[in-house]
């Protein structure tokens, strides 16, 4: 249970070219799916994410870069409602919502 008290964070941004909401993955890429986000749980790892975000911003790949909290345990789920909505889409247009993970077929 000690781990639940720890901070857990992921790195998110929007792609400069098309504005798409994206998450930084363990593979070192930017994915539209929150489930693929690389999770940082130690101060060192969080610091590393922050630096990666700053570098990607400086390289004009992404904008609006933020390291955000996630809720510990199970699937990667942002803590704050703003980020929950950002991850899936407007709550009033479920037809346009994005799944947390890519569908198997694509």
Q: Under the rule (CB under 8 A), what is the footprint of other proteins?
A: 14, 16-21, 57, 59-60, 63-64, 79-82, 85-86, 89-93, 96
- Token pair 């803590």 is at which residue? 79
CB of 40 to other proteins, least distance (A): 20
CB of 83 to other proteins, least distance (A): 9
User: What is the 8-class DSSP label of residue 94?
Assistant: G
CB of 44 to other proteins, least distance (A): 26
Q: Which residues, at least 6 apart from 43, have a Cβ–Cβ distance to it below 8 Å?
A: none
In the complex with other proteins, the residue whose CB is nearer, 27 or 58, is 58
In the complex with other proteins, the residue whose CB is nearer, 45 or 84, is 84
CB of 68 to other proteins, least distance (A): 12
In the complex with other proteins, the residue whose CB is nearer, 63 or 101, is 63
User: What is the 8-class DSSP label of residue 37?
Assistant: B
Strands ordered across the beta sheet of 30-31: 30-31, 21-24, 9-15, 62-69
Closest to 45 (Cα-Cα) out of 7, 2, 87, 5: 7
């Amino acid at each position: 249970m000690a781990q639940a008290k720890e901070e857990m964070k992921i790195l998110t941004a929007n792609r400069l070219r098309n504005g798409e909401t994206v998450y930084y993955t363990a593979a070192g890429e930017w994915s539209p799916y929150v489930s693929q986000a690389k999770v940082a749980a130690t101060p060192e790892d969080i610091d590393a994410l922050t630096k990666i975000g700053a570098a990607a911003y400086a390289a004009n790949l992404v904008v609006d870069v933020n390291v955000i909290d996630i809720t510990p345990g199970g699937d990667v789920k942002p803590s704050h409602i703003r980020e929950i909505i950002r991850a899936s889409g407007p709550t009033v247009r479920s037809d346009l919502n994005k799944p947390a993970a890519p569908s198997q077929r694509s």
